[in-house]
Amino acid sequence: MSSQSPLLDHLLELRNRLLRSIIAVGIVFAVAATFADDLYHWLAAPMLASLPLGSSMIATDVATPFFTPFKLAFVVSIAIAVPYLLWQLWAFIAPGLYRKEKRLVVPLLASSTLLFYAGVAFAYFVVLPLALKFLAGAAPEGVTVATDISRYLDFVLTIFMAFGIAFETPIAIILLCWSGATSVTSLRRKRPYIIVGAFVVGMLLTPPDVISQTLLAIPMWLLFELGLLIAGLYRSEPKPEPEQNQD
């Protein structure tokens, strides 16, 4: 019976932290929902700017004009609450980590959040205007471009996720080297294959145009190089090991 007690304590703590996370997202959503239409107008700005004069976005479903802005507000609420959600995750797993692991995990959580935000910002301010202008201009003559607001939201969220995850490349490199799954030297030898892989990922995750594919592949390659640099600096400092063995 006593062996079940720690497990029950962990489950209760997990439940409490999940409840706090849900409440935090709910509070942010309550605020964001009041600006749902403004948020969607801001999101749709690149699309509206790329449409021909006289064109506009459309809604093909009866309930789409109502639900689509609230769907965006919910996604924005989760994105805003991410630092708090990660803090709850950190508070849950921290007791089971060694001191050396704690020193590494905190910067990784903070930097992964910033990198994800940076990827989303890069997609919105750089990739979307170029990609949407290209796609709108590629329409055959006589075809009026009129994008459905729900389809556009799904398209943009896919782009945001692709770039947000792609910008996590340095974190993935550091974790792989830290865990011993690979090494900096091995990854440097595989650099040509990784560069080709970045362009393949760009082709799979972005719209079918060369601009957005290249704009995803090049940052992934540069972030891969950054991850190698940071992982090399980290791996070059394992001096505490001998001192621990003496104890």
What integer pLDDT is reported at residue 242 of this predicted model?
42
pLDDT under 70: residue ranges of the chain: 1-4, 97, 101, 139, 142, 206-209, 234-247
What integer pLDDT is reported at residue 180 of this predicted model?
76
What integer pLDDT is reported at residue 234 of this predicted model?
63
What integer pLDDT is reported at residue 145 of this predicted model?
73
What integer pLDDT is reported at residue 1 of this predicted model?
43
What integer pLDDT is reported at residue 142 of this predicted model?
67
Kindly give, in sequence order, each residue whose CB lies less than 8 Å from that of residue 58, ignoring residues fewer than 6 positions away.
Answer: 146, 147, 148, 149
What integer pLDDT is reported at residue 201 of this predicted model?
80
What integer pLDDT is reported at residue 238 of this predicted model?
44
What integer pLDDT is reported at residue 241 of this predicted model?
44
User: What pTM was estimated for this model as a whole?
Assistant: 0.79
- Mean pLDDT, the chain, integer: 82
Nearest in space to 36 (alpha carbons), one of 83, 92, 76: 76
What integer pLDDT is reported at residue 245 of this predicted model?
46
Q: Can you tell me the distance from the alpha carbon of 152 to that of 207, in angstroms, rounded to the nearest whole number?
A: 12
Question: What's the angle, vertex CA 145, arms to CA 214 and CA 158, rounded to 5?
Answer: 40
What integer pLDDT is reported at residue 246 of this predicted model?
44
